[in-house]
Amino acid sequence: MLHPIILSDPVLTTNLNRGDHTEVLEIDYDPTVISFKELLDLFWNNHEYGLTTPIKRQYASLILYHDEEQKQVAHASKLEEQERRAPEIITTEIASKENFYPAEAYHQKYRLQGHKDLASSLNLSPKLLQTSYVATKLNGYLAGVGGIEQFKAEAETMGLTPTQRQYCYYHVEQNEGQGLYC
């Protein structure tokens, strides 16, 4: 059974609250493969934007929990991170997941959509931009996450045509190591 976790970072979905919103992503995960705590460790190790500096609500550092157990794990994780980063003050909020809405289509897989010919050749409908595993992977690779060796190891499993693979090889190699940024 997959369980959701919601963290702030790339613009994938939006949590709206009375007209205000914070851009977040929701990850469905299998707790027999990776724990909620392990996902939070990845969050702390890979998330900087707004972590210790209060910024606009739209880009705030935020963890949303679904139940009491996730709430307790999230708070304990934040305390550990606070100890590790002292004297910095962690500003990441922890709150209950309430309203959750998909972001506008132009936000979905934004980096992939910047490669218009590739996106078009993949026949990505707005729904697929939001839900496709391949679109998610390509979006990250094209933004510079993962690297060329990892992409080469995975490319055959994505169902890409030779032309699409060649295009992606080039751009993944050009962007390797740049990572995601706002």
pLDDT tens digits for range 76-89: 999 999 999 889 88
Distance CA(10)–CA(94), nearest Å, equals 17
The values of phi and psi at residue 33, to 5°, are -105, -45
Mean residue pLDDT of the chain comes to 83
The yes-or-no verdict on residue 151 having pLDDT over 60 is yes
Pairing of strands 20-29, 93-96: unpaired
Domains of the chain, by residue range, sit at 3-102, 105-175
Q: What is the mean pLDDT of residues 101-112?
A: 84
Considering the entire predicted model, what is its pTM?
A: 0.69
Kindly state the helix (H) or strand (E) to which residue 90 belongs, with its residue range.
none
Residue with the bigger pLDDT between 19 and 147: it is 147
Q: What is the mean pLDDT of residues 37-47?
A: 89
Question: Quick one: pLDDT at residue 145?
Answer: 86
Distance CA(170)–CA(24), nearest Å, equals 29
Question: Quick one: pLDDT at residue 9?
Answer: 40
Among 171, 156, 179, 154, CA closest to 118: 171
* Residue 47 identity: H
Question: Quick one: pLDDT at residue 35?
Answer: 93
Residue 138 DSSP symbol: H
Among 4, 13, 9, CA closest to 96: 4
Question: Quick one: pLDDT at residue 128?
Answer: 85
The yes-or-no verdict on residue 48 having pLDDT over 80 is no
Distance CA(88)–CA(47), nearest Å, equals 15
Class of domain 3-102: alpha beta
Which of these ranges, 2-11, 34-43, 49-58, 145-154, has the smallest mean pLDDT? 2-11
Residue 52 DSSP symbol: S
Q: What is the mean pLDDT of residues 57-82?
A: 91
Q: What is the mean pLDDT of residues 108-114?
A: 90
* Residue 98 identity: E
